Structures are given as C-alpha cells and as structure tokens.
Amino acid sequence: MPSVEASHSEANEGEGLGVLRSVVQQLRNNRLGVLGVALVIFVVASALFAPLIITHDPIRIMVGPRLAAPSLDFLLGTDQLGRDTFSRTIMGGRIPLLVAFASLGSALAVGLLLGLIAGIGPRWLDNLLLLVFDTKRSIPSIIFALAMIALLGPSLATLIFVIAIGSVPIYGRVVRTQTRALRNSEYIAAERSMGASTTRIVAVHVAPNVIGPLLILVSMDIPAVIAVEAGLSFLGMGVRPPTPDWGVILNDGYASINQSPWPVIAGGIPIVLATLGFTFLGEALRDIFDPKLRKDL
C-alpha cells in the first residue's frame, strides 16, 4: 500500500479541507473501509430516520401472528408477542447508538482532562491517577458494570455512565503518556521560556496534538461499546422491555429459540452489522492516520 505513505505526507500539509479530501480519497482505496462506511451509514441512517422506515408500531403486541417467519408484511418475522421484528430492529438501533455516542463523548472529555492533569501535573498526582486507572482496569468491565447497575438501578443514564467510566482509564492513560512525551519536548520548553502559563501551554500546545490519536482510539471503541450496551440489555440490565433495543430483541428471540429460529436470527443481525461496520471503519481510519500502528492485513 504505497498510497498510504504518499498521501500521509500530504495530510501533513496542514490545510483542513485538503486533509479531509485525502482521507476520503484513501478511504475509497480501502475496500474494507468502503464496506465499513456503507454499513455505518446504513445503520446510523436507519436509526435516525427510523419513524419513517418502520412498517408497524414497534411496541404494539399482536400486530401479526406470534413467531411468524419473514414475509412481505413482516420483513423479519414477528416475536413471541406478535410484534414486528423489523420495526423493532430499526427502532432498536437508536438506544445503542445514543449510548455509544454519549458515553464515548463523555469518556473522551473526562479521559482527556484526567490524562492532561496526570501528564502535566506533579509526579504524585500522576502516580495516583495511574494507580486509579490501573485499579479500574483490574475489575472486569462487565462485572464492574453489573455491580454499578446493582447499586444505581438499571436505566439509560446508568448505562451511559457505566460505559463511560469503563473507557476513561484507557483514554486517560493514552493522553497521559502522550502529554508526558510532549512535556519534555523542546517547543514546550520554548513556550515556558517565553513565560507562557501552564494553562496556555496545555490548551494551545498540548491538547491539539493529543486529541487526534485519541479520536482514532475512540472511533475504534464504538463497536465494543455497542456490544457492551447490547450485552447488558440482553442480560436485562439495560433499558427495560418493551422499549425496542438490539439487546432486548436478541434476548426475546433467545427466549423463544426452541419455538422458532427467526426472532433470534433477526435479533442478532443488527448487532453484527453495526459492530462490523464500525470496526471496518475504525480499522481503515487507523490505517490512514497512523500508519505506524498499521497491522498488515
């Protein structure tokens, strides 16, 4: 892939639009990336325009026969309560995507802040934060999430909160390591020698250089977060039925797996499509922005 090297230096030209154009260009050359973009657009668009797409009320029961096989009327069949699986699936994407963006957004902000504090702050604070990050990472994420849900009660807010907390230590650590490296760089010393305050150095000279790699990392975490959200809802720890949600739909299908295979087949498909799409996209983005990290495929 010589094109990656060549246009990477192009991306350094610094012009914002140029960067965007070259990213699009490279994405187009990456077959997996194209597939990822297509899947992501498909999933996100169907969630955004869900009310226009659905063919039946996703919550109303007995709109059709129970556990019907896919047909023209019920594109993905019906579940054990006679609800239309297609409509539920389309609507069910809203919560996972909302949780993913809300939790990763807040994790990004908090991780960036804590990482900058650890990176620029005094040694003891750095060590303390690292210790807390390591401690958090020692608790298996799902088990930690379950414990928090037990204490706070299952709800959308708990879900977002728990998933955000799970990602903060990783982001914090990455930002901290980058900040430490930048802190010893000559240009930070030069800024300091001119009398720049720490706040100014962090805001103008450190944060912009740290945020790029962090964004790639976050984009690569989207599929994992969707999986965790769906998993917790599957366990009945996320949003409560009858709200349509991919995890809930899969669980409904799982409950009637012995009567009919259709609900469980249909219930898993959106999760598979969404995680695959975001994974392919994340891989492609990483290849483009960070050729050093590229794992040859």
Partner 1 sequence: MSALLRVEDLRVCFRMMGPLKALATGTKSPFIEAVCGVSFEIRKGETLALVGESGSGKSTIARTIIGLQRAVSGSISFDGQEIEELSGTERKPYLRRMAMVFQDHVGSLSPRLTVRSLLTEPFRIHGLKDRDVGGEAERLLRMVGLPADFARRYPHQLSGGQARRVGIARALALNPDLIIADEPTAGLDVSVQGEVLNLLARLQDELGMAILIITHNLNVVRHMTDRMAIMYLGRFIEVGSTERIFEHPRHPYTKALLAANPEPDPDAVLNRIELKGEVPSLMRRPSGCEFHTRCQYAQDICTRVFPEPSASPHDTGHSFRCHFPLERETVAPVQERLGSSVGPKPARARHGRAYALATAVGTRKARPSTEDGSLRKISPKTKK
Partner 2 sequence: MWFYFLKRIVLAVAIIMIAVTLLFFMIHAVPGDPAAILLGPRATPEMKAQLYEQMGLDKPLVVQIAIFFGGLLQGDLGYDVFSQRPVADIVFEQLPYTIELILVSISWAVAVAVPLGCYSAMRRNSVVNQVAGVLTIATIAIPSFVMAVYALLIFAVILRWLPAIGAGDGFWEGSIHLILPAFAIGIGWVGYISRLVRASMLEILGENHIRMARSFGISEWHIVAHYALPLAILPTVTILGVGIASLLSSAVFIEVVFARPGIGALIVDAVNTRNYPIVMGTVLVTSFLVVVATTLSDLVAAALDPRTRENL
- Choose from partner 2, partner 1, none: what does 191 bind? Cβ within 5-8 Å by kind: partner 1
Which of 137, 180, 183, 192 touches partner 2 by CB under 8 A? 137
What is the C-alpha to C-alpha distance for residues 129 and 133, in angstroms, rounded to an integer? 6
The label of the residue with tokens 């054990």 reads: 80
Nearest of 160, 163, 207, 164 to residue 182 by alpha carbon: 207
Show the site string, 211-230: x = touches partner 2 by CB under 8 A, - = not: ------------x---x--x
Helix (H, G, I), strand (E, B) or coil at 35: helix
What is the C-alpha to C-alpha distance for residues 295 and 57, in angstroms, rounded to an integer? 45
Q: By CB under 8 A, is residue 194 in contact with partner 1? A: yes
What is the C-alpha to C-alpha distance for residues 40 and 87, in angstroms, rounded to an integer? 19
Which of 17, 124, 186, 296 touches partner 1 by CB under 8 A? 186
What is the C-alpha to C-alpha distance for residues 91 and 118, in angstroms, rounded to an integer? 41
What is the C-alpha to C-alpha distance for residues 100 and 164, in angstroms, rounded to an integer? 9
Which of 192, 216, 256, 268 touches partner 1 by CB under 8 A? 192
Which of 121, 231, 241, 242 touches partner 2 by CB under 8 A? 231
Site for partner 2 in 13-42 (CB under 8 A): 32
Stretch touching partner 1 by CB under 8 A, among 40-48, 65-73, 173-181, 191-199:
191-199
Q: By CB under 8 A, is residue 255 in contact with partner 2? A: no
The label of the residue with tokens 């009398």 reads: 195
Which of 2, 14, 16, 140 touches partner 2 by CB under 8 A? 140
* CA 102 to the chain's CA centroid: 9
Which of 40, 67, 164, 250 touches partner 2 by CB under 8 A? 250
Cβ-based nearer residue to partner 2, 22 or 251: 251
What does the DSSP 8-state code read for residue 205? I
Which of 101, 205, 235, 241 touches partner 1 by CB under 8 A? 205
User: Could you tell me the smallest distance in angstroms from the CB atom of residue 69 to partner 1?
Assistant: 58
Q: By CB under 8 A, is residue 193 in contact with partner 1? A: yes
Nearest of 93, 232, 223 to residue 149 by alpha carbon: 232
Contacts 24+ apart (CB under 8 A), 126-130: 126/176, 126/180, 129/172, 129/176, 130/173, 130/176
Q: By CB under 8 A, is residue 271 in contact with partner 2? A: yes
What is the C-alpha to C-alpha distance for residues 229 and 73, in angstroms, rounded to an integer? 30
The label of the residue with tokens 């982001």 reads: 171
Q: By CB under 8 A, is residue 137 in contact with partner 1? A: no
Helix (H, G, I), strand (E, B) or coil at 51: helix
User: Could you tell me the smallest distance in angstroms from the CB atom of residue 162 to partner 2?
Assistant: 12
Site residues, partner 1 (CB under 8 A): 12, 14, 185-187, 189-197, 200, 204-205, 208-209
Site residues, partner 2 (CB under 8 A): 32, 131-132, 134-135, 137-144, 146-152, 223, 227, 230-231, 234-237, 250, 253-254, 257-258, 261, 264-265, 268, 271-272, 275-276, 278-280, 283, 295-297
